[in-house]
Amino acid sequence: MQAAGILVIPEDLIVEFNKIKMKGAHPYMILSIANKDNETKVPPDSPQLHIERLGEKGETYTDMLNHVPKDDPRFIIFDYTATTEDGRTGNRLVFINWIPLAAPVTKKVSYSSNSKTVKNKLEHQAEMSPDCWQEVI
């Protein structure tokens, strides 16, 4: 069960996010919430957002899905490359708020209640909130 403390978003996570945003360093990042127990700067009952996986250059959306648990919530930032009708390409950061229906209620509540905090901290241009695997694939 997640603690009722305020979600901590560590600086190293923001640094990696900015590498995606500014330099396209990774095609995606998968984030999860966990309680920190060995970090002296973080109260022991405060949940902390951490990077579960950073995508490697060349990985695709399908590759990313292989690392997302089907029955456990995650926040995902995906660097989507789109091509316009006139042939120009551009990138959009997509925030995916993955909260599957099959997830434990306590985790659904934790991710739902912290979603706004994470979205406000990690600037993005588009958003998805799927709750079943068919909406993700």
Nearest CA among 78, 54, 56, 58 for reference residue 136:
78
Distance between CA atoms of residues 87 and 109, nearest Å: 42
Task: Tell me the pLDDT tens digit for each residue of 73-93.
Answer: 999 999 999 888 999 998 899
Cβ(39)–Cβ(13) below 8 Å: no
Per-residue pLDDT tens, the chain, 137 aa: give them: 444 578 999 999 999 999 999 999 999 999 999 876 544 455 557 899 999 999 999 999 999 999 999 999 999 999 999 888 999 998 899 999 999 999 999 999 999 999 999 999 999 999 999 999 999 87
Report in angstroms the alpha-carbon separations of 21 from 5, 7, 39, 45, 134: 28, 22, 27, 31, 27
Q: Which residue has the tokens 């434990």?
A: 104
Among the CATH numbers 3.40.20.10, 2.60.40.2310, 3.30.70.2860, 1.20.200.10, which is that of 11-136?
3.40.20.10
Domain ranges in the chain are 11-136
